[in-house]
Amino acid sequence: MKNLSRRSHLVAAAGALLLGLAVAPAAHADSAYGCIYPQVCIYDDTSVTSPIVGRFQQVTSYWQYLSNPQSYYAVVNTRNDDVAYVLDSYGTHCIEPNGSMSSSGRITAIRIDSRSSC
């Protein structure tokens, strides 16, 4: 009887564990300020309420240059696990996952990297 009780507890514990895995919430990804996940967006001015003038989402090992470089810009990174590097007239800046920045510099290029932090 003691062995049967132990076995039923193990079966119940395994069932609870499997049930917990079956109903676990899915990973969550959000858009922000009109920038759709998993994009990195460039805005026409230092405000994220200004028009989006560039959208990027490909992880690369090289710079992706803008066809029309912007002065005074904002960048939003909606990616959950990747950083975005921004090259502007002041230098290189790193934007954390789900982060943003703005600058009065002239942005010329962007690079999305699979690193999860700057």
Best CA proximity match to 76, nearest among 68, 86, 66? 86
pLDDT at 30: 72
| Residue showing tokens 């200004």 | 50
pLDDT at 21: 36
- Residue 57 domain-assigned? yes
- Residue 49 domain-assigned? yes
Tens-place pLDDT, residues 45-77: 999 999 999 999 999 999 999 988 889 999 999
- Residue 5 domain-assigned? no
Query: Tens-of-pLDDT digits for all 118 residues of the chain?
Result: 554 444 444 344 444 433 443 344 444 557 788 999 999 999 999 999 999 999 999 999 999 999 888 899 999 999 999 999 999 999 999 999 999 999 999 999 999 999 999 9
* Domain total of the chain: 1
- Residue 24 domain-assigned? no
Long-range contacts of 91-97 (CB under 8 A, 24+ apart): 94/118, 95/40
Angstrom distance (rounded) from CA 1 to CA 105 = 77
pTM of the predicted model as reported, rounded to 2 decimal places: 0.73
- Residue 35 domain-assigned? no
pLDDT at 20: 41
Best CA proximity match to 103, nearest among 37, 48, 66? 48
- Residue 67 domain-assigned? yes
Q: Which domain holds residue 93?
A: 40-113
Q: DSSP label at 39?
A: -
- Residue 101 domain-assigned? yes
- Residue 97 domain-assigned? yes
- What is the enclosing helix (H) or strand (E) of 70? strand 64-77
